């Protein structure tokens, strides 16, 4: 039980970092036309590797995929925090 809670906590932590984009930067990909919110624009974000001061992991998705990942992380977090699911101990 404790292992599953720890695994879920770790997944939520990673999902929240991905969703927040606080550590990420957008990669500039040259295109012929400039569209403000193009859902197909490729965005790369770098995340620090735990236990290293310099190593990073680069993750690339389209703007639409980042939006989907953010929405999914938010829904998962809300579901875990919902007392009706019985997963939150009081």
SS3 content of the chain, % helix, strand, coil (to 5): 45, 15, 40
The model's pLDDT over 60-70, given as tens digits with 9 standing for 90+, comes to 999 999 999 99
**Would you say residue 73 has pLDDT above 80?**
yes
* 8, 66, 88 from 21: Cα distances, Å: 20, 9, 27
Question: What pLDDT score was predicted for residue 36?
Answer: 77
22 has a pLDDT exceeding 50: no
pLDDT (tens digit per residue) in 27-51? 555 555 666 789 999 999 999 999 9
- In the predicted structure, residue 75 carries a pLDDT above the cut 60: yes
Q: What is the mean pLDDT of the chain?
A: 76
Distances (CA, A) of 45 to 17, 25, 58, 62: 11, 5, 6, 11
């Amino acid at each position: 039980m404790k292992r599953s809670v720890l695994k879920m906590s770790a997944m939520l932590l990673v999902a929240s970092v991905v969703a927040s984009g606080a550590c990420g930067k957008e990669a500039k990909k040259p295109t012929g036309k400039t569209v403000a919110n193009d859902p197909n624009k490729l965005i790369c974000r770098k995340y620090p590797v735990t236990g290293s001061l310099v190593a990073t992991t680069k993750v690339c998705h389209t703007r639409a995929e980042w939006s989907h990942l953010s929405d999914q992380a938010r829904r998962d977090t809300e579901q875990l925090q919902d007392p009706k699911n019985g997963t939150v101990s009081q």
